[in-house]
């Protein structure tokens, strides 16, 4: 019996960051697909159905991870992949814990499953991915 | 001004004056409103927000001067023209001092009124345009700062990310000397990232953009969380963190922006841990005084020389590193902390004895029952 490893999608506009993430994830034998912008990400998600998404949330008018996440959770187009685990990745610093729109029990899923700071600690990242894939 | 014609309000107790002024205005394709006394005039100013107000000085009830003063409080961008049959130099000067833009003695011709109104409307247009330009400038500056900091951050983050991959051994078995150099290079990058974040904070706080909305904050809970968060690094540095709150702990309440206050105490505490001696201590104490919440952070660190003490909150002030090591941090942390505390109408003070330790004291106004409600 062949056990296939999960497929992970890395969405980030920085090519070096995508390369570093790919190295980390492939070292743990994951299959990695990448996207450099929202359009590509949308195509990848619908075509490849990744098991988990790492999503950069740098805010500018061209790259809005928040709205992609919101779309995945709410739009009909993404219905088949609505509950895909999403981890936000961001360069914006947080101190002790971050205030963030996670799940809201009464409203159902409204956002990401987790949040991780850049630069990413490889061990921390892999541990979290393991956790969400196990669910 | 909207696409509509300018709106001009005439406040005069003489009906004939109101009517003839209104006629002149309408003939010039301006919109006219009238009021027969100061009180109803002010009510119309509040409701209609005219562009210009023509105001008689001597009226029964509220005088023109009373109206001028109230007008300044309601909206200082509205232009006031004073008219009066008792025209003297003194009353003209007084009117201008009270905020009138121009002064027209009665009787006046339609042409004279038209010229004065023309100037008043120009003034009004300029005022509104300046305001709009200032807003636009501010928005552009904010956008610029955000863009620049993003441009500066991204490459640094990418560099640091590669370092993390190498240090984690994922890119092959690392050579010990390479690891050491990469670790050090990573620290320099971290320092740069810290500097960019601090610079961003500093420019935001200057623009009044750093602080979120003020809400009730529980300082005991905030400090407790921070101490828990910093315990690992304190342990790693061999420093003991002590936390005490004079009872009743629950009574201390302040109103403010929790995230930026976290930043203040996080900064002071990290410094206290960092600049401490082995087996040193950092004591955090929360007390209340009438009207104030006082947080004291005391360390057994190297201390600050008395000549440097007054400069501790200056931008870029940094203690000289030990053994000629590399300066960590941006030196902006305390200056940001001071601005945040002052934005909360609080005070921050420091006392120190070199070789013994340092005490930081942050005083924040206690939330009134009214504030917290």
- Please give the tally of structural domains in chain B: 3
Task: Residue A16: list chain B partners with CB under 8 A.
Answer: 158-159, 161-162
B242 membership: H or E segment, kind and range = strand B240-245
Please give, rounded to a whole number of angstroms, the shortest distance from the CA of B349 to a CA of chain A. Answer: 23
Q: Are B179 and B226 within one domain? A: no
Mark yes or no for CB contact A96/B154 under 8 Å.
no
Which of B171, B206, B241 is a domain's end point?
B206
- The answer to whether B1 contacts chain A (CB < 8 Å) is no
pTM, 2 dp: 0.59
Residue B67, pLDDT > 60, answer: yes
* Region B138-157 average pLDDT: 84
CA distances from B302 to B22, B321, B324, B330 (A): 78, 11, 15, 19
Q: What is the per-residue burial (b if ≥16 Cβ within 10 Å, else e) of B265-293? A: bbbbbbbbbbbbeeebbbbbbbebeeeeb
d(CA B145, CA B157): 18
Residue A22 lies in a domain: yes
For A13, name the nearest residue in chain B, comparing CA atoms only.
B154
Residue B129 lies in a domain: no
A23: domain CATH number is 3.40.50.2300
Q: What's the pLDDT band for B74 if we cut at 50, 70, 90?
A: very high
Task: Residue B152: list chain A partners with CB under 8 A.
Answer: none
Q: Are B259 and B169 within one domain? A: no
Say which residue the tokens 């990469």 belong to.
Answer: B182
Q: B149 is written with which tokens?
A: 């900091």
Residue B26 lies in a domain: yes
Asked whether the beta carbons of A51 and A32 are under 8 A apart, the reply is no
Please give, rounded to a whole number of angstroms, the shortest distance from the CA of B162 to a CA of chain A. Answer: 6
For B156, name the nearest residue in chain A, comparing CA atoms only.
A119
Which of B180, B206, B232 is a domain's end point?
B206
Give B331's contacts (C-beta < 8 A, 6+ positions apart): B315, B316, B317, B318
Residue A119 has its nearest CB partner, among B157, B225, B226, at B157
**Torsion sign, CA atoms B170, B176, B180, B182:** negative
Q: B245 is written with which tokens?
A: 């709150």
Q: pLDDT tens across A69-81, in order?
A: 888 988 899 999 9
- The answer to whether B244 contacts chain A (CB < 8 Å) is no
Q: Are B181 and B244 within one domain? A: no
B63: domain CATH number is 3.40.50.2300
Residue B123 lies in a domain: no
Residue A95 has its nearest CB partner, among B158, B228, B263, at B263
CB atoms within 10 A of CB B138: 13
Q: Are B222 and B336 within one domain? A: yes
Residue B155 lies in a domain: yes
Q: Are B322 and B197 within one domain? A: no
Q: Are B21 and B98 within one domain? A: yes
Q: pLDDT tens across A7-65, in order?
A: 999 999 899 999 999 999 999 999 999 999 899 999 999 999 999 999 988 655 555 78
Residue B130 lies in a domain: no
Task: Residue A21: list chain B partners with CB under 8 A.
Answer: 161
Residue A121 has its nearest CB partner, among B162, B164, B197, at B164
d(CA A76, CA A72): 8
pLDDT given for residue A107 in this prediction: 44
Which residues pair with residue B11 across a beta bridge?
B35, B55
- Please give the tally of structural domains in chain A: 1
Q: Where are the beta strands (DSSP E) in B139-231?
A: 215-217
For A60, name the nearest residue in chain B, comparing CA atoms only.
B147
Q: pLDDT tens across B285-316, in order?
A: 999 888 899 999 999 988 888 888 888 888 77
d(CA B276, CA B201): 26
Q: A32 is written with which tokens?
A: 């990695």
Q: What's the pLDDT band for B46 if we cut at 50, 70, 90?
A: very high
Residue A2 lies in a domain: no
Could you tell me the residue range of the domain that residue A119 belongs to? Answer: 7-134
Q: Are B248 and B357 within one domain? A: yes
Q: Are B200 and B235 within one domain? A: no
Could you tell me the residue range of the domain that residue B309 belongs to? Answer: 215-372
Separation of first and last alpha carbons in chain B: 39
């Amino acid at each position: 019996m062949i056990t296939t490893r999960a497929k992970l999608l890395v969405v980030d506009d920085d090519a070096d960051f995508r390369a570093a993430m790919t190295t980390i994830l492939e070292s743990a034998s994951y299959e990695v697909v990448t996207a450099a912008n929202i359009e590509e990400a949308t195509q990848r998600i619908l075509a490849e159905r990744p098991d988990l998404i790492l999503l950069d949330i740098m805010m500018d008018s061209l790259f809005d991870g928040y709205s992609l996440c919101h779309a995945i959770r709410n739009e009909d187009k993404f219905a088949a992949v609505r509950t895909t685990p999403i981890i936000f990745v961001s360069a914006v610093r947080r101190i002790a814990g971050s205030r963030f729109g996670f799940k809201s029990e009464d409203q159902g899923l409204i956002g990401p499953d987790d949040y991780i700071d850049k630069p990413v600690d490889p061990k921390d990242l892999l541990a979290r991915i393991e956790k969400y894939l196990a669910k | 001004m909207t696409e509509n014609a300018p709106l001009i309000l005439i406040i005069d107790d003489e009906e004939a004056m109101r009517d003839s002024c209104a006629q002149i205005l309408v003939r010039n394709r301006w919109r006219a409103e009238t009021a027969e006394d100061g009180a109803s005039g002010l009510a119309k100013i509040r409701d209609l927000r005219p562009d210009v107000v023509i105001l008689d000085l001597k009226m029964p009830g509220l005088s023109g001067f009373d109206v001028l003063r109230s007008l300044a409080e309601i909206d200082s961008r509205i232009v006031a023209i004073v008219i009066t049959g008792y025209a003297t130099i003194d009353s003209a000067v007084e009117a201008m001092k009270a905020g009138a833009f121009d002064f027209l003695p009665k009787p006046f011709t339609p042409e004279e009124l038209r010229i004065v109104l023309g100037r008043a409307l120009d003034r009004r247009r300029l005022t509104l345009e300046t305001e709009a330009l200032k807003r636009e400038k501010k928005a552009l500056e904010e956008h610029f700062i955000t863009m620049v900091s993003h441009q500066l951050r991204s490459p640094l983050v990418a560099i640091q990310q590669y370092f993390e991959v190498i240090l984690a051994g994922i890119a092959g078995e690392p050579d010990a000397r390479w690891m050491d150099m990469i670790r050090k290079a990573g620290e320099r990058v971290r320092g740069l990232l810290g500097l960019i974040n601090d610079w961003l904070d500093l420019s935001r706080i200057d623009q009044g953009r750093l602080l979120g909305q003020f809400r009730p904050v529980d300082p005991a809970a905030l400090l407790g969380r921070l101490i828990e968060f910093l315990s690992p690094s304190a342990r790693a540095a061999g420093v003991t963190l002590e936390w005490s709150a004079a009872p009743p702990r629950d009574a201390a309440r302040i109103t403010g922006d929790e995230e930026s206050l976290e930043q203040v105490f996080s900064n002071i505490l990290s410094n206290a841990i960092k600049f401490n001696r082995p087996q040193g201590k950092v004591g955090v104490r929360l007390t209340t005084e009438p009207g104030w919440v006082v947080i004291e952070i005391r360390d057994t660190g190297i201390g600050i020389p008395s000549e440097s003490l007054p400069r501790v909150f200056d931008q870029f002030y940094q203690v000289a590193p030990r053994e000629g090591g590399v300066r960590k941090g941006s030196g902006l942390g305390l200056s940001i902390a001071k601005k945040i505390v002052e934005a909360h109408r609080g005070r921050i003070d420091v006392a120190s004895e070199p070789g013994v330790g340092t005490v930081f004291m942050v005083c924040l106004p206690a939330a009134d029952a009214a504030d917290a409600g």
